[in-house]
Amino acid sequence: MKLIVDNIIYSIQKWGGISNYWSELRKGLLNNSDIDVSELELINKIISNNFKKDENFNTIKNSRLLVKAIERYQNPFPEINQPHLFHSSYYRYSKNPKSINITTAHDFSYELHFSGIKKYVHVTQKKKALNNSDVIICISNFTRDLMLNLYPELSDKRIEVIYNGVNSNELLGNSKTSHPNLFSFENGEYALYIGDRKAQYKNFKLTCKAIEISKVPLIIVGGGALTPDEFAMLENVKYQHVIFATDQELSFLYANALLLIYPSISEGFGIPLIEAQTLGCPIISTNNSCIPEIAGEGALLVNKVDEFALSDSINEISKSTQTRDELIRLGYQNAPRFSWNEMRRNTIELYKDIGNGN
């Protein structure tokens, strides 16, 4: 069975959940003798993606690339003259008539939370890819249900839910490595905020307000350099920004945090939830989108997303050993539901099933 994987995501982001997902999937394909894998490599290739590893796959040419600057939006025509599967890392589909197209739907944040030309471009590309796909993978039941609500015409497609995961053994091993100079706060006293701060639905501004009320130190990881507006939000907060953390450092931060604050109201899966639970880090999040499905009972979820509900939850975890211990226990029970090994196994089984004409 021939499979072409399209690595366009590596030219779009330097890090992020989709890059993580794609790299974990590629690991499972590397030594699988049942699948003949080739990769569609890119002209406008960013080699500094933190998840991209050079693997020993064949590389194929794309005969119909037009404009380098908009390569990410162009749907390729791979030079292969035999039936094959085509799986893109980010909302492209093959125009080769011999392709069976597979698309992974990660989330629908642009449809729900953006406007203007940025929304139009992203939504148009995604909708075309989904409509031209033979099979759609959704990373949660919530994502599938939201997709069908937004695009009911896709109900005739084959849709499979395959969860994201974590590498639990790797996380646990990394967390045991000491990084005494990584942060200036005491173990167990700081709240942890990870990732994107710019999208309003991530609620970083509310996080700052809640932290200011609760007076708990905050460690911010990733998300690029702080902006002047963000410095203003943090004016009365005791904080530290770790602009980039290695896997070992991030595991250490989880394992030694008072809590993870994850106040997003729109997620497709939410990998930090499972990373935190694996490492015994209590979670404060929202009762929105996929979060109840993924976090289970191992998180303190707020129904009203404002600074007061978040600060009350921070205070509950910081002052009640019983609450904290119970969240950790329930998190440990929930986290094993999700693993990258399971994601890889389910996806490869799907490839085989499609390749056999099912």
Q: Which carries the bigger pLDDT value, residue 59 or residue 168? A: 168
Q: What proportion of the chain, given as a percentage, has pLDDT over 70?
A: 93
Q: Do β-strands 99-105 and 84-88 pair in parallel, antiparallel, or remain unpaired?
A: parallel
> pLDDT tens for residues 216-242?
999 999 999 999 999 999 999 999 999
Phi-psi region of 52 (alpha: psi -120 to 50; beta: other; left: phi over 0): beta
Confidence of residue 49 (pLDDT cuts 50, 70, 90): low
| Mean pLDDT for the stretch of residues 71-97 | 92
Q: Is the pLDDT of residue 198 over 90?
A: yes
DSSP string of 261-280? EE--S--SS-HHHHHHHHTT
> pLDDT tens for residues 235-294?
999 999 999 888 899 999 999 999 999 999 999 999 999 999 999 999 999 999 999 999
Q: Which carries the bigger pLDDT value, residue 47 or residue 218? A: 218
DSSP string of 211-258? HHHHT--EEEE-SSSPPHHHHHHTTTS-EEEES---HHHHHHHHHT-S
The pLDDT, as a whole number, for residue 69 is 56
Q: Is the pLDDT of residue 106 over 60?
A: yes
> pLDDT tens for residues 289-302?
999 999 999 999 99
Beta bridge partners of residue 103, listed in sequence order = 88, 136
The pLDDT, as a whole number, for residue 14 is 77
| Mean pLDDT for the stretch of residues 207-217 | 98
The pLDDT, as a whole number, for residue 99 is 97
